[in-house]
Amino acid sequence: MNEKAESMRTSGDSRTELRHSQASTFLRMLHSPWVRYRWCPWFLKDSAILAWVITALLLLIAFLVLSFVNRAAERGFFPLLPAATRANGFSPANFLYSFLPSLLGTFLFLAWQPIDVYFRSVQSYANLSQQNGATAQRSILLSYNAMVPGWVTLRALMNGDLKVAYISFISTMAMTIPVLAGGVFTALLFANGEVRMTASMRGYIALCVFLSIYALSYLVIWPTRYRYLPHSINTVAGNVSFLYASRLLKDSSIRNIRTKADFIARLDGRVNTTLTGDGRRRHRVPEKDIDRGARYGFGIYTGIDNKEHLGIDRMQRPGSGEMLVTAGMPGRPEK
């Protein structure tokens, strides 16, 4: 019996030590920069971006050289297909040199869309990762992904999110590339009897300008560490995982919500409520105190289970200490 009791006690001590060891290991991982900054889409890894830049610049240089050396675009080239218009109005040469450039331009437009979507999605996390956090309007209430392209650019400029504004502008501008490319070439009969595909130079120059801006824009798509996350946010679960243990979900100040405007005002700190969240006893907060009283951050916080978690919460909360933002060196991050 003594040997059995000793064995059970030893086994219990081993399990306890294992749990403490696992908890300690998890805590060290939680504070590790490798965990905080380990995820970014494959197409925005450093090696992938370098490949994008090199490919885009080389193709742009080759395109400009072939277009303007010896005035090739203006003088035209042989279509290698029948250019005469048939009885039904179809011209094989005109169709090919309209469809093919438009198709290539569409590929360029589509290649930029995942980049645009990524920067729209993670901008709120980038703002939350600032050393002093961000207001609700600049973080958890941002909705760039739900906005139409032109409005995203304008709204991002108003918010000071310059990188999102520029990348969204390029996404909108890229829609003009397949349009211009599809209508710039036409078959013409020259005085010597030759049929050549020639470009409308005004449209062709505009196409060259847009392509140059598009290609050079790959130089500015490095995410920087503020836009790296612990894991993917491509699903609802990926986003909710940063909030599931946050005390923000049980915050009394966002109970008894009656309207969307009321919800936004409370998150943004424009309304103070009692601890019970009773809407009958609330008052407006002066504009100068909004930033001081309602700031949110992305970092390590004490959750509702009194354990540390990596995610989103208020920067300061009575009784919980100050949130630890792990975004890097103090200062204003790149927008």
pLDDT of 121: 94
**Based on the domain organization, do 293 and 265 belong to the same domain?**
yes
- 114 and 253 in a single domain? The answer is no
Residue 91: both structure tokens together: 């011209």
d(C-alpha 286, C-alpha 271), whole Å:
9
pLDDT, one tens digit per residue, over 65-95 is: 988 888 888 888 888 888 877 877 788 888 8
91: left (phi over 0), alpha (psi -120 to 50) or beta: beta
Domain identity same for 203 and 308: no
Q: How many residues does the chain have?
A: 335
Question: Which tokens sit at 109?
Answer: 């437009």
How many domains does the chain fold into?
A: 2
Question: Do β-strands 324-325 and 295-302 pair in parallel, antiparallel, or remain unpaired?
Answer: antiparallel
- Same domain for 113 and 238? no
The reply to whether 295 falls in a domain is yes
Q: Binning pLDDT at 50, 70 and 90, where does residue 325 land?
A: low
Domain match, 252 and 182 both? no
Residue 141 structure tokens: 């209430």
Q: Give the whole-angstrom CA distance, residue 72 versus residue 75.
A: 5
Q: Pick the residue with more confidence: 265 or 118?
A: 118
Q: Cα–Cα distance between 166 and 168 in angstroms, integer?
A: 5
Q: Which residue has the tokens 């679960």?
A: 237
Q: Choose the final residue of a domain: 225, 255, 287.
A: 225
Any domain includes 27:
no
More confident residue, 216 or 280: 216
Is residue 221 predicted with pLDDT exceeding 90? yes
Q: Is residue 16 part of a domain?
A: no
Tokens 């805590």 belong to which residue? 27
Give pLDDT tens digits for 282-314.
444 444 444 455 789 998 888 888 888 888 988
Q: Output the pLDDT for position 34.
A: 83
Residue 331 lies in a domain: no
In a domain, 335, yes or no: no
Residues 170 and 198 in one domain: yes
Rounded Cα distance between 335 and 182, Å, is 35
Tokens of 140: 């958890």
Last residue of a domain, one of 193, 225, 257: 225
Position 74 scores a pLDDT of 83
The answer as to whether 269 is a domain residue is yes
Within 8 A by CB and 6+ apart from 178, the residues are 101, 102, 103, 104, 105, 106, 108, 109
Which residues are within 8 A (CB) of 156 and not within 5 positions of it... i.e. 6 or more apart?
A: 123, 144, 162, 164, 165, 168
The pLDDT, as a whole number, for residue 322 is 57
pLDDT above 50 (res 18) = no
Tell me the C-alpha distance between 141 and 264, whole Å: 8
Rg of the Cα trace of the chain?
29
Strands (E), the chain: 134-135, 185-189, 195-199, 271-273, 282-284, 295-302, 308-314, 316-317, 321-322, 324-325
Structural contact between residues 174 and 109, judged by C-beta atoms closer than 8 angstroms: yes
Burial class (CB in 10 A: 0-12, 13-18, 19+), 134: buried
Per DSSP, the three-state class of 187 is strand
The answer to whether residue 266 is domain-embedded is: yes
90-147 pLDDT per residue, tens: 888 888 899 999 999 999 999 999 999 999 999 999 999 888 888 888 888 898 989 9
Q: Is the dihedral of CA 26, 31, 32, 37 positive or negative?
A: positive
Asked if residue 107 and residue 200 are part of one domain, the reply reads yes
Its pTM stands at: 0.79
> In this structure, are 277 and 202 located in the same domain?
no
Q: Note whether 173 and 112 are same-domain residues.
A: yes
| DSSP per position, 39-90 | B--GGGSHHHHHHHHHHHHHHHHHHHHHHHGGGHHHH-B--SS--S--TTS-
Domain final residue pick, 200, 225, 250: 225
Tokens of 257: 């919500």
Is 33 inside any structural domain?
Answer: no
Residue 280 structural domain: 231-325
Average model confidence (pLDDT) for the chain? 80
Residue 133, Cβ neighbours under 10 Å: how many? Answer: 25
Alpha-carbon distance of 192 to 252, in angstroms, equals 84
Q: Are 188 and 80 found together in one domain?
A: yes
Most confident of 127-141, 244-258, 271-285, 317-331: 127-141
Looking at the fold, whether 220 and 235 belong to one and the same domain comes out as no
Q: Do 90 and 178 reside in the same domain of the chain? A: yes
Mean pLDDT value of segment 262-267 = 80
